[in-house]
């Protein structure tokens, strides 16, 4: 398929093909980054009343069609989170970068993942692991 695409773009030049491929890859990275922000970024911490986790999980679409069992919200600026992916911004541990952030972890109460979803809340500053592809892409809940 790659060879066919190269032949298709031969008349336009290989440079155009490379530019289009880069744009497609950046679009994927941007999409992954936006998903990461939707699921994990909340700065400043939202004032949603008594049950932060129940409200935020619902607002961020993590309660339908199934309840997400665990999710962590990071209460730091986007720039500070992005810095984790740069030299000196985080400690490289092989599968991601570790740094200390203020976070709220929401854990589902009960075993059923069917709505309605109920969550407990743990607020603390702690080390977390973020996977990067120049931008944050994935928060590793298993690495605490």
**Model confidence at 20: pLDDT above 50:** no
Res 12: pLDDT: 54
Q: Which residue numbers are catalytic?
A: 40, 138
Q: What is the pLDDT of residues 94-123, one digit of tens each?
A: 889 999 999 999 999 999 999 999 999 999
136 token code pair: 């944050």
Domain CATH number, residue 133: 3.10.130.10
Q: What is the pLDDT of residues 43-101, one digit of tens each?
A: 999 999 889 999 999 999 999 999 999 999 999 999 999 999 987 889 999 889 999 99
Q: Is residue 69 part of a domain?
A: yes
**Model confidence at 26: pLDDT above 50:** no
Q: Is residue 144 part of a domain?
A: no
**Model confidence at 140: pLDDT above 90:** no
Res 22: pLDDT: 41
Q: Is residue 36 part of a domain?
A: yes
Res 64: pLDDT: 94
106 token code pair: 């929401």
User: Model's pTM, two decimal places?
Assistant: 0.77
60 token code pair: 């961020």
Q: Is residue 60 part of a domain?
A: yes
* Whole-angstrom distance, CA of residue 30 vs CA of residue 98: 21
Domain coverage including residue 100: 2-139
Between residues 37 and 18, the one the model is more confident about: 37
Res 89: pLDDT: 87
Q: Indicate the range of 4-18, 35-49, 61-75 predicted with least confidence.
A: 4-18
Q: Is residue 44 part of a domain?
A: yes
Question: Could you give the number of structural domains in the chain?
Answer: 1
Res 7: pLDDT: 57
Q: Is residue 17 part of a domain?
A: yes
Evaluate the CA torsion angle 33, 87, 100, 142 in order and state its sign. positive
Res 128: pLDDT: 93
The 3-state secondary structure of the chain, one letter per residue: CHHHHHHHCCCCCHHHHHHHHHHHHHHHHHHHHHHHHHHHECCCCCCCCCCHHHHHHHHCCCCCCCCCCEEEEECCCHHHHHHCCCCCCCEECCCCEEEEEEEEEEEECCCCCCCCCCEEEEEEEEEEEEEEECEEEEECCCCC
* Whole-angstrom distance, CA of residue 80 vs CA of residue 125: 14
């Amino acid at each position: 398929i790659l060879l066919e695409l190269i032949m298709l773009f031969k008349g336009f030049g290989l440079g155009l093909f490379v530019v289009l491929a880069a744009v497609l890859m950046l679009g994927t990275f941007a999409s992954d980054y936006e998903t990461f922000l939707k699921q994990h970024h909340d700065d400043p911490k939202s004032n949603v009343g008594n049950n932060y986790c129940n409200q935020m999980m619902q607002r961020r679409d993590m309660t339908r069609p199934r309840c997400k069992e665990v999710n962590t919200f990071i209460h730091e600026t986007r720039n500070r989170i992005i810095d984790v992916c740069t030299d000196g911004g985080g400690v490289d541990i092989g599968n991601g970068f570790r740094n200390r952030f203020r976070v709220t972890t929401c854990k589902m109460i009960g075993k059923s993942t069917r709505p309605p979803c109920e969550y407990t809340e743990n607020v603390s500053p702690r080390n977390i692991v973020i996977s990067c592809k120049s931008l944050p892409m994935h928060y590793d809940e298993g690495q605490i």
